[in-house]
Structure 1
Amino acid sequence: MQEEAEGGGMESSRASRTRNPFLLGLFRQTPIAVSNDPSIRRMNQTKPPQFLPVCKEGRDLKCGKWGNLDDSLTFLPPSVTIVASSNGCLLCCTDGVKNMDYIVCNPVTREFHMLPQPHRLYPYAATAFICEGDNDSLTGLRYEVYRAQVASAVSLATTLELDVFSSTTGEWTQLSLIAASPFQLSVHLGPPLVFDDVIYWRSYSYDYMIAYDPTRELVELKPLPERGQNFRIWSDQIGQSEGKIQYARADNLEIEVWVLEDIKKGEWTMTQRVSVESMFRRNPHVVSTIYIGIQHFHPRNQLLILITFDGKPYWYNCRSGRLSAFRGCARLGLSFLYEWPCEPRYDS
């Protein structure tokens, strides 16, 4: 099934890269188990990252046929955690829950830039990363880091407080943007979706996305598909595939997959509804207590969704109904899509 995740060629235009990136693999990050010994402080540490290829180009990268990938990020300070991924580069943090010391790096060229500290210490921060340009060198890249303040994990807010770093100026700026309606911005559900340079954060209520357009400096609440009265969401995910925003959610009985046909009008179309019981009947090799996690959409193939059952990852093919184990990974943990802006160039 790994071959079903293979990607094709990649156009060089900015619009094509944004809408149809070349997926090489995932960076996986697993927390270290917390010790009961109070003298051992491991709460915010993680094991070294691991790169998991999903195509031939990704496997070639991992074994050194092109580039010089350091998937454990040993060229960075110890105990870094990955925060986000964009355009072949990673945004990392070195100080755990404080979210004040950031590094932008390219794990293939092993270059990195340490950013100055933001102006404000947030108790909770939701961070987005947009990187553009030729990633052969960090010098030629343009990137921004968007760091949203969340006053508490569950409180309602009417103002989006942002610290924004620009590689062009080399400085952080502060923004306060008022939304038309109160919102709950989630910190713990993974990095936001960046689609056509608009950032989509998730909410705790599962009813809407918080969309921030940096060009217009506008914050809007975008509704998610309505759900049935008895649908209790165990897991959901927002992503993009084949140039459209995708949304999937699961409870203990069903998995639904939706596509956003019109962003301005907020028109969602359901493309799949599958019974969890029937999924297991069609895939008797999968053994699970039905703890479902919707992880990622394949950017170049709407039919492929990465799902975990009790932490074990599988590619799910919406057309065939097949579940196939993700190679080289018994438990996925926190993961980040690693996308390349163009066809990888092999050394002669």
Structure 2
Amino acid sequence: MNPPCSKYGVFPDEVVLQILARLPIKSLFRSKSVCKLWYKLSSDKYFIQLYNEVSVKNPMVLVEVTELSESKSSLICVDRLRGVSEFSLDFIKDRVKVRASCNGLLCCSSIPDKGVYYICNPMTREFKLLPKTRERPVTRFYPDVEATLVGLACDLSKQKFNVVLAGYHRFFGHRPDKTFICFVFDSESNKWRKLVSLQDDHFTHMNRNQVVFVNGSLHWLTENCSCVLVLDLYLDIWRKISLPDEVIYGTGNRTYLLESDGHLSVIQISEAFMNIWVLKDYGKEEWHMVDRSLEGNVFCEEQLYPTIMVLSTCISEHTLLLSLSCVCFDRDGGA
């Protein structure tokens, strides 16, 4: 046990570290100016691991807000432990947009340079420029050059990550066919591998930016919520998971894909109710409704989209941004 007086001050070292590990990212970087020891914390492996452990137990919601009168957007983190905080990705030295997030890492694509992707840790302000795929220049992703689907899978226990770029390709001057090209980047080998399959699914702008990493696979909602498209990163195969009938055939609802205590989840929201489903049996595709709220006017769809994009969500605390306010729903607390 550390003595009452430590190198961090009058409190034991572990107490100070536990306090700092619960700070918002912005406040954490402000604390670096206190002293040299605190300045070095953001690059200390033990503290980074501790911060990640605290974050995993208290998942945050990452929200991208775009002003109608401006072309730029801002990022806001919302979680119960650290509150609401805004942070910037200006340390990347490029204009980027967030395409995916997983376990504290963000996958960003360059706005001026199509096909350029970064992985960054906003806590340490470290980033990695991914090598470009070796795709021939005569082909490109359809319809906007960028990959239709971007996924990020981060395994904290192994300290490794995978990035997935997938979409329909077309030869220059030709219409796209059902050929679905997928590139998977492995951080351990620092290389891409290519998968080719036939798909006929389409994705809304909202669903493209909401990918969930569960059970060693990446998941995306298809257009009209007809099913969940799944990429198994161990077997390198695509599959589809059916959704509850109420989700498929429901009208006038907003549907999000979530992660709940290691399970794939779906939240369905309308002006009259909010339903939360959990995929209890992954193999048998058995969905169970775990919560149903009948409180009306949960949110107004027109306020949420397109100026606000929920980039990542968690089931324990689903947060939606309405204008300049945050509305939090806690399934355990029911409010």
User: In structure 2, what is the Cα distance between the partners aligned to 1:50 and 1:251?
Assistant: 24
Instruction: Tell me which moved more, 161-170 or 262-271.
Output: 161-170
Match of 2:107 among 60, 81, 91: 91
Q: Which residue of 1 aligns with 2:6?
A: none
Q: Which residue of 2 aligns with 1:260?
A: 279
Question: Alpha-carbon deviations, 1:204-223, whole Å to 9, x = none?
Answer: 02121011112112211100
Task: Report 1:1-348 matches (<5 A).
Answer: 21-23=56-58, 25-33=60-68, 42=71, 46-56=72-82, 71-95=87-111, 99-120=114-135, 121-122=140-141, 123=144, 124-133=147-156, 141-150=159-168, 159-178=179-198, 182-189=200-207, 190-227=209-246, 231-277=250-296, 289=300, 298=314, 301=316, 304-309=317-322, 312-318=325-331, 321-322=334-335
Displacement of 1:151 after TM fit?
A: 5.8
With normalisation by structure 1, the TM-score equals 0.64
Cα RMSD, aligned residues only: 3.7
Structure 1 unaligned spans of 5+ = 1-5, 7-16, 36-41, 63-69, 135-139, 281-285, 323-348
Any idea what SS the aligned residue of 1:75 has?
helix
User: In structure 2, what is the Cα distance between the partners aligned to 1:173 and 1:297?
Assistant: 29
Partner amino acid for 1:86? C
Displacement of 1:76 after TM fit?
A: 1.1
Taking every aligned residue pair, what percent have the same amino acid on both sides?
18
Q: Which residue of 2 aligns with 1:12?
A: none
Displacement of 1:320 after TM fit?
A: 5.2
Q: How many residues align?
A: 266
8 Å Cα contact 1:126-1:187 kept in structure 2? no
8 Å Cα contact 1:259-1:268 kept in structure 2? yes
Structure 2 unaligned spans of 5+ = 1-21, 23-51
Partner amino acid for 2:281? D
User: In structure 1, what is the Cα distance between the partners aligned to 2:302 and 2:206?
Assistant: 18
User: In structure 2, what is the Cα distance between the partners aligned to 1:113 and 1:159?
Assistant: 30
* Cα 1:315–1:169 shift into 2, 3 Å: same
With normalisation by structure 2, the TM-score equals 0.66
* Cα 1:263–1:53 shift into 2, 3 Å: closer
More helix by share: 2
8 Å Cα contact 2:278-2:287 kept in structure 1? yes
* Cα 1:84–1:23 shift into 2, 3 Å: farther
8 Å Cα contact 2:120-2:126 kept in structure 1? yes
Displacement of 1:161 after TM fit?
A: 1.5
8 Å Cα contact 1:244-1:259 kept in structure 2? yes
Structure whose CA Rg is larger:
2
Q: Which has the higher contact order (CA 8 A, sep 6+)?
A: 1
Question: Alpha-carbon deviations, 1:70-119, whole Å to 9, x = none?
Answer: 931232114222222223222112225x6411111222222221112234
Any idea what SS the aligned residue of 1:183 has?
coil
